[in-house]
Amino acid sequence: MSRYDNFEPRLRCVMPFEAVPAELSLLRQRIRCMLGHWGVSAVAEEAELVVTELATNVIKHVGEGAAATLVLEPRQDRLRVELHDKSHTVPTRNSGSRDAECGRGLHLLSAMSLEWGTLLTASGKAVWCEISLEPARHCMRVQRAAALLDEYRRVVGASSSTVPTRAVLEESATDAITDLLHWLAAQGGDPDEALDRAQIRYEAEAEAA
């Protein structure tokens, strides 16, 4: 069986960070950049707010400077958000003097997400939630292209440890298109004709959007 038979590129971004207030602004910038790359900028504000609440709870209840990891993953009609830390203490929405702020943050998380919960892991826990991608459903072509571009960058050995800038993504897209034209020519196709068809189809769909 060819290794391409079950090929299904998936979008997933892992962002390790240090739980300190100064990191939150940078984290929000990276989230907005990545969601824009995936074509789901419509939910960036919600995602940024949710992640800010989760990261703030890590700072307050796990400890400032704690190691944490944010994971973003679009799944059909939802954006999965996970925040991992090294503590096994599960947050609750119970009111109380010590956890009042944490409780308010979790109430906000519950109100903004379709579902949320906590998973215990070997090294700590992950608080997760899922945000509706309904506002971004018209961008499915962009999401498919982003998945293919991520896989292309992996094949050519591009670094996956950082969120790529717009300039890097544009250069990678140009390289990918160039490779596709070489492939098409090798199959006996006409690259110019393919480009013309793609441009006509793109303009028609952009006008109809």
Task: Sketch the domain layout of the chain as residue ranges.
Answer: 13-135, 138-208
Contact 126, 82 (CB under 8 A): yes
DSSP string, 51-110: HHHHHHHHHHHT-TTEEEEEEEEEETTEEEEEEEES--PPP-----TTTHHHHHHHHHHH
pLDDT given at position 145 = 84
Task: State residue 14's pLDDT score.
Answer: 94
CATH topology classification for 13-135: Heat Shock Protein 90 (3.30.565)
CA separation for the pair 30, 69 (Å, rounded): 13
* 10-residue mean pLDDT series, the chain (209 residues): 47 93 93 89 91 92 94 90 94 56 69 90 94 74 81 82 77 92 92 90 76
Q: What is the model's pLDDT at position 56?
A: 92
Residue 133, pLDDT score: 87
- Enumerate residues 6+ apart whose C-beta is below 8 A from 116: 106, 109, 110, 127, 128, 129, 130
- pTM, entire model: 0.67
